Structure 1
Amino acid sequence: MLGRLVEEVLRLLALPHQPALHVGERGDDRVDRTVLDVVPQLFQRQHRPATLLRVQPETIAARLWPGRSPRIEPLGGGITNHNFKVTLEGVAYVLRIGGRGTELLGIERAAEREAATRAAAAGTGPEVVAFLADEGVLVTRFVDGRPAPPEDLRTPDGLARVVATLKPFHEGPAIAARFDSFRVVETYATTATEHGVSIPSAYAAATELAHRIERALGPRGVVPCHNDLLNANFILAGDRLWIVDWEYAGMGDVFFDLANFSVNHELGADEDDELLRVYFGERDERDAATLTCMRFMSDFREAMWGVVQQGRRQRQRRAFARRCACWGPANGREPRSRARSPRAPLRFPAGSGL
């Protein structure tokens, strides 16, 4: 029998699929307002800063290709890193220089190289060409494509393509790094405190909710996961879909990866169900509930990521408007989430531990 608070939590977790119901419009009888306001509070005043360039790309190119004169062009889209397109004798590469202080975010460059290499072997990511650990430099083959339109990835064919690209990495050999979203948010809180950043008061309520989810889900198996499935990390080249940027990859919960993709591509309830059917061959209630829980953990992790960023003391820039809108009003603007199918409050099966 589920307790009242757990029912409130599960009802909250279903609410992102109903963006027309804003924080200020929900009736007090529907959900505990204190719990409901957790994520918007965490997202307030968080920023994704630009990073300072630790080494010039020309210096790296001279080391990698001595005596040659490649053409170097900046690539946009980097949040914690700097990316350049390097063209040499008709062959193009991506030169990625890691930003300063990214170790505070749990990024280990050697682990990233291993994950990117495994992803390339699985046909999921581009070939790794070179790696310079001290400078945080990774060189991969340039994929001549464009970011995959999110609306295309939300279609049944698009979801099938995503699963066909991502699943071989999930099913591949284990990698050394570990990614546990429940521990990551705690580590981020500790790191932020150690660097003089105040933890938002909403963190305590969010953590309590995370603990309830963790207890409900029980022990979890782990597989190699990407853990940062932003739309910018999906590159469409002709009929081929590639996934790039493996710096947060680690052994983790496949449902976090699926939920992270769902959140970042604004999947609705029906689309979430289709994602589960394509990935597992069927859609089951337990899996649907787990996916919804991990959607919350994806947003919680992202919010705490922003808290840690303040401790890096770099130039700041705003990048949280979309997620803030998904969870509640942001500066009076309407949420940008797509309309979602209504979903009844989720229930875990008897014997789940709740």
Structure 2
Amino acid sequence: MSIQALLPEIEPHLARPFEIEPLDGGFTNQTYKITGLNRTLVLKQVGRQQNILGLDPQQEVLALQRASMAGIGPRVIHHSQQGNFLLMEFLQGSLIEAADLNRPEILRAIVGQVQAVHQMQGIARACSPYHLVERYLQGASELGIKIPHQMAGFLRRMEGIEKRRSRDHTFTRVYCHNDLYRFNIMQTPQGIRLLDWELSGVGDAFFDLATLSFSNRFSREQDENLIFLYFGCCTPDLMQALQDMKFMNMLREIGWALLHAGLEPEQVNHQMDYLSWAHTVVQRLQEGHLDL
């Protein structure tokens, strides 16, 4: 849907005249900065991914509202009943850079916000790492994308991880962000805020921690520090759970890329060779890497 078609729903929340400019960052949805006379907002147009994954957009709105009240995410100004767009406050600040993660106070603040996410209650939306991988691969297959033959072995390993993690009745049943890449973490004057809650749902806390680790190529020492910041201790079992979820993040990355390789060009945000990227991650996983 074009921006012009959404103007009747946007105009009650902004004083004319206003300027519209695209925002960089997200790979799945189109986002825009809309500046009016009275304030600046962010418009997020939801792509096909959410429908393919079977995630209720109204539950995303509820999660964002809870996150905003807890000082974790941006405030929702307006949302469509059809779930095809969100209008949110524009946060002043800057996205986290790789170097920021080496600053103890920044990493501590991020982990604190992740802990706050995991304490959110009352949102009936499940989204486990296994669900994400399965739905991404199913969606890609339905769009005519050939699934790499190596995935059969990877999925058998996933079954073992799911069985092992099912014994943890505490940290596999918490609300998770599920997309903690740096471009979804912002440093604002009010502190760290987490963006893009589209994949959020009840899942495995270690998946959020592992996303930080695998997408930033944390060393073992950094992994141990990450675990210590979250749990107050670091044990072999905790480290094993983190490694398992780093593997799951690699599978999610492959599935995500394969799905987006099958979507029409106008349904993805960036000019990227998704299929090539999927095979790159497959190769890294075959070589024993658990990071991008």
- Normalised by the length of structure 1, the TM-score is 0.72
The structure having more radius of gyration, on CA atoms, is: 1
Give the secondary structure class of the aligned counterpart of 1:65: helix
Residue from 94, 97, 110 that aligns with 2:58: 110
Give the secondary structure class of the aligned counterpart of 1:245: coil
Cα deviation code 1:109-152 (max 9, x no counterpart): 21221211111111110111110132611111101111111221
User: What residue number does 1:345 align with?
Assistant: none
Residue from 236, 257, 277 that aligns with 1:306: 257
Query: Following the alignment from structure 1 to structure 2, what is the Cα–Cα distance between the partners of residues 190 and 326?
Result: 17
Query: Runs of 4+ in structure 1 displaced over 4 angstroms?
Result: 319-323
Tell me whether 1:58 sits opposite 2:4 in the alignment: yes
Contact 1:73–1:84 (8 Å) recurs in 2: yes
Question: Percent identity between the aligned chains?
Answer: 29
Name which of structure 1's ranges 284-293 and 208-217 shifts more when overlaid on structure 2: 208-217
Q: How many residues align?
A: 278
Cα deviation code 1:293-314 (max 9, x no counterpart): 1100011011011122233233
Tell me whether 1:273 sits opposite 2:229 in the alignment: no
Letter in 2 for 1:281: G
Q: Deviation at 1:62? A: 3.0
User: What residue number does 1:187 align with?
Assistant: 135
Contact 1:229–1:257 (8 Å) recurs in 2: yes
User: What residue number does 2:284 align with?
Assistant: 328
Contact 2:52–2:135 (8 Å) recurs in 1: no
Larger helix share, 1 or 2 = 2
Residues 209-224 of structure 1: pairs in structure 2 closer than 5 A: 209-220=157-168, 221-224=172-175
Query: Following the alignment from structure 2 to structure 1, what is the Cα–Cα distance between the partners of residues 181 and 204?
Result: 17
Residue from 277, 280, 283 that aligns with 2:234: 283
Letter in 1 for 2:221: D
Q: Deviation at 1:204? A: 0.4
Residues 71-220 of structure 1: pairs in structure 2 closer than 5 A: 71-100=19-48, 102-134=50-82, 136-220=84-168
Contact 1:229–1:261 (8 Å) recurs in 2: yes
Contact 1:109–1:133 (8 Å) recurs in 2: no
User: What residue number does 1:11 align with?
Assistant: none
Query: Following the alignment from structure 1 to structure 2, what is the Cα–Cα distance between the partners of residues 242 and 162?
Result: 8
Query: Following the alignment from structure 1 to structure 2, what is the Cα–Cα distance between the partners of residues 278 and 113?
Result: 29
Q: Deviation at 1:317? A: 1.8
- Normalised by the length of structure 2, the TM-score is 0.86
Query: Following the alignment from structure 1 to structure 2, what is the Cα–Cα distance between the partners of residues 153 and 211?
Result: 32
Contact 1:129–1:139 (8 Å) recurs in 2: yes
Give the secondary structure class of the aligned counterpart of 2:265: coil
Cα RMSD after superposing both structures? 2.6
Give the secondary structure class of the aligned counterpart of 1:95: strand
Give the secondary structure class of the aligned counterpart of 1:301: helix
Cα deviation code 1:192-236 (max 9, x no counterpart): 333322221011000111112222333343111000111110111
Query: Following the alignment from structure 1 to structure 2, what is the Cα–Cα distance between the partners of residues 153 and 327?
Result: 27
User: What residue number does 1:8 align with?
Assistant: none
Contact 2:254–2:281 (8 Å) recurs in 1: no
Q: Which runs of 5+ in 1 are unaligned?
A: 1-54, 330-334, 339-354
